[in-house]
């Protein structure tokens, strides 16, 4: 099976750049949690026979809340990519890391067992430039 993290990374790259991407041999069925969050953010995904088309739907993405979980949940290995996309998003969103396996999220509670990143998106002047 093709790598789901690699495919998810390309999906996020298309959303960040505002381009359109055709991902061949995409393991789309293994990316349910990722594709759900990307659609919630305003990324257009269409599964075709043997490939997936990806593009940012309209304007800026909308930031969302994400909690990483073991498969089939949202993969820990996709949090850095989603964090990068959320830098260009509108509104607030969080990424909560429960396993502490990857420390992309630098803020933690006193026990260190849960890490949470908060993105407040782009400033209003950037939104005007991107339109």
Give per-residue pLDDT as tens, 34-61. Answer: 999 999 999 999 999 889 999 988 788 9
Mean pLDDT comparison of 17-21, 37-41, 92-96, highest-scoring range: 37-41
In order of their start, the domains of the chain are: 4-130 (3.65.10.10)
For residue 100, pLDDT over 60 is answered with no
Looking at residue 72, its pLDDT comes to 87
**Residue 107 confidence (pLDDT) above 70:** no
Residue 16: Cβ-neighbour burial (10 angstroms; 0-12, 13-18, 19+): middle
What is the predicted pLDDT for the residue at 123? 59
Nearest Cα neighbor of 94 from 119, 69, 60 is 119
Q: What's the half-sphere exposure (Cβ side, CA atoms, 13 Å) at 21? A: 22
């Amino acid at each position: 099976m093709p790598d789901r993290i690699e495919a998810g990374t390309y999906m996020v790259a298309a959303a960040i750049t505002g381009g359109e991407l055709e991902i061949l041999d995409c393991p789309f069925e293994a990316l349910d949690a990722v594709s759900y969050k990307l659609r919630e953010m305003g990324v257009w995904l269409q599964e075709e026979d043997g490939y997936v088309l990806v593009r940012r739907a309209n304007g800026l993405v909308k930031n969302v809340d994400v909690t990483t979980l073991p498969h089939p949940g949202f993969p820990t290995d996709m949090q850095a990519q989603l964090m990068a996309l959320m830098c260009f998003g509108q509104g607030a969103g969080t990424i909560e890391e429960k396993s502490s396996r990857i420390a992309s999220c630098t803020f933690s509670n006193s026990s260190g067992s849960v890490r949470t990143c908060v993105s407040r998106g782009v400033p209003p002047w950037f939104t005007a430039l991107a339109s």
